[in-house]
Amino acid sequence: MMDAVEKWAADDFRSANGQLEWIIYSALKDAKRLKMSLEEENLE
């Protein structure tokens, strides 16, 4: 699983940790589990 994450991260020019953070953030946002201020703070 980590090999797949590391390859995905490299494809997106991110570190593996950065990729995992992005995956978790996206999942929380999709599930509407973030507070509005956190969503606004992390807009990309």
**Contact criterion met (CB below 8 Å) for 22 and 29:** no
Quick: pLDDT tens for 19-28. 999 999 999 9
Please give the pLDDT value at position 30.
93
Q: At 2, list the tokens.
A: 């980590």
pLDDT digits (tens, 9 = 90+) for 1-44: 999 999 999 999 999 999 999 999 999 989 988 876 655 666 65
CA distance 42 to 1: 26
Q: Which domain holds residue 9?
A: 2-41
Q: Is 0.85 surpassed by the pTM of this model?
A: no
Residue 32 burial (C-beta neighbours within 10 Å; 0-12, 13-18, 19+): exposed
Look at residue 34 in the predicted model and tell me its pLDDT.
82
